[in-house]
Amino acid sequence: MSKIKSTKKQYAYNEIKKLIQNGDLVSGEIYSEQMLADMLSGGTAEEVSRTPVREALQAMALEGAVRIKPKKGVLIVSHVSVNEVADMFDLRAAIETYIVRKAIPRLKFEDIAVLRGYIEKQKIYTANENRSDFVKLDFKMHMYLMEVYRNEWMSDIISRLRERFFSVGVHAVIATGRPCEELLAEHIEYVDALERRNLPLAIDCLLRHFEKGVDSYKEYMNLK
């Protein structure tokens, strides 16, 4: 079976993201569409043409992960600004604290079990030092309460921002090298508060979680 799932554009998008996150595509370097297509084709049973690569890069350019240089190629963005990270976490804090207020009375045993399941998987990723998958699950865990809340308008707005939230968040966590053990401990405290229906503590956990993310990124950027 082909490793290319869904559309080739989506495959190209996912694989280029992985190459950036793993450091195979170097920040500040310019790559041609053909070079990227060749890199992706090397890991599949099917050839990946320049067209899906171009479409994927256009989507990533809107997120700020890359910059398209006409007649040159694509530039891998070297970093996300401190202001962008701070603004992103500020917006997420506003959205997620509101969602917690609305969702916490609706939480069922099954919902807590789902959140605990995320934590158990993160423990495995922590032990294996798999930061990429840890962060992906981190974001999914944060977005789970949106499913409990079930506000279609808000879900639509967040879906439009999802990739931007994710790309900036991933960069902030992976770039700083913030220990997964530390993040995991914060997640456990947060889910414990949700299980006890302790709204003030749950909100406090969220805000401290985001503030530490911003502070660690500021420290990282000051050291560069």
Residue 3 domain-assigned?
A: no
What number of H helices and E strands is found in the chain? Answer: 9, 3
- Among 180, 164, 192, smallest CA distance to 80 is for 164
Question: What CATH number corresponds to the domain at position 198?
Answer: 1.20.120.530
Alpha-carbon torsion angle 49, 53, 58, 60, nearest 10: 170
Which of 76, 99, 114 is the last residue in one of the domains? 76
Angle value at C-alpha 5, between 4 and 7, nearest 5 degrees? 95
Q: Are 103 and 182 contacting, i.e. CB atoms less than 8 angstroms apart?
A: no
Tokens of 212: 């530490």
Residue 2 domain-assigned?
A: no
Q: Largest Cα–Cα distance of the chain, in whole Å?
A: 57
Residue 1 has pLDDT above 60, yes or no: no
- Interval 125-166: pLDDT, tens: 999 878 778 887 888 888 899 889 988 888 888 877 776 777
Instruction: Check residue 5 and give its pLDDT.
Output: 45
Residue 4 has pLDDT above 50, yes or no: no
Residue 122 domain-assigned?
A: yes
How confident is residue 186, by pLDDT bands cut at 50, 70 and 90? very high
Rounded to whole angstroms, the Cα distance separating 196 from 42 reads: 50
Tell whether 86 and 165 lie within a shared domain.
yes
Which of 76, 109, 133 is the last residue in one of the domains? 76
Residue predicted with more confidence, 111 or 18: 111
Query: Structural domain of residue 21, as residue ranges?
Result: 8-76
Tell whether 155 and 195 lie within a shared domain.
yes
Instruction: Check residue 18 and give its pLDDT.
Output: 81
Q: Are 43 and 3 contacting, i.e. CB atoms less than 8 angstroms apart?
A: yes
Rounded to whole angstroms, the Cα distance separating 38 from 35 reads: 5
Residue 148 domain-assigned?
A: yes
Mean pLDDT of the chain: 84
Rounded to whole angstroms, the Cα distance separating 69 from 144 reads: 37
Tell whether 130 and 20 lie within a shared domain.
no
Tell whether 65 and 87 lie within a shared domain.
no
Number of domains in the chain: 2
Rounded to whole angstroms, the Cα distance separating 216 from 224 reads: 13
Tell whether 88 and 182 lie within a shared domain.
yes
Which of 56, 76, 96 is the last residue in one of the domains? 76
Question: What CATH number corresponds to the domain at position 23?
Answer: 1.10.10.10
Tell whether 218 and 137 lie within a shared domain.
yes
Tell whether 104 and 182 lie within a shared domain.
yes
Q: How many CB atoms lie within 10 A of CB 127?
A: 10
Residue 1 domain-assigned?
A: no
Rounded to whole angstroms, the Cα distance separating 10 from 20 reads: 15
Tell whether 100 and 69 lie within a shared domain.
no
